[in-house]
Amino acid sequence: MRKAEPRMFKLSLRSFRLYIAAVAVLFFLLFSFAGYMTAEWYKASDAVLAYSSLNGKSRICLPDSTFVWLNAGSTLEYFVSRWTKERNVRLDGEAYFEVHKDNQRPFVVRTKGAEVCVLGTSFNVNTYGDDGRIYTTLVNGSVRVLSVKNGQEKVLTPGMQGVMNIQTGQLTVREVDVESYV
């Protein structure tokens, strides 16, 4: 019996470069496709829930167990995302909030020029803007009101109202009778 001689596979330098280039293109396409699919998956995981109260008051329970009473002519958008550390809503009009406490995810109400940040409390936000102002009235707990225009920030305690001028962004705080504003 004859011993089988080992076969040598010879590859020219040019062929080797072509194989390397083909493998590199394949990996590039694979990673591009994976990146595209991941971005689409992240987009699909975000949603916006919109609520409107056109001709009367509406009571809404948001997915995070926060209760909201919308006044007539008001619109609320709730942004649902797995990836953010905040619970975000956008308000146009007037709403009373009873925020479910969650220390890990603050609740943020965004309006035309102000942001109200809370962890768990009851408060009212009025953004109708008939007089060029946004009113935030606190019932219990504490909230932080931020003027987006100039960065001014105030922390409210129960019985206080933050008033922000939409034009200048100036934020003032005053004591009020909560029952007449809520």
Write out the H or E segment, with its range, that includes residue 178. helix 178-181
Most confident stretch, 40-44, 126-130, 132-136: 132-136
Is the confidence at residue 57, as pLDDT, over 90?
no
Amino acid identity, residue 75?
Answer: T
Give the pLDDT confidence score for residue 30 in this predicted structure: 92
Pair 97, 70: CB distance under 8 Å: no
Is the confidence at residue 120, as pLDDT, over 70?
yes
Interval 66-94: pLDDT, tens: 999 999 888 999 887 766 778 889 999 99
Give the pLDDT confidence score for residue 47 in this predicted structure: 62
User: Average pLDDT of 34-62?
Assistant: 76
Q: Please give the span between the terminal C-alpha atoms of the chain, in angstroms, as a whole number.
A: 102
Alpha carbons 126 and 29: distance in angstroms, whole number: 52
Give the pLDDT confidence score for residue 1 in this predicted structure: 58
Amino acid identity, residue 161?
Answer: Q
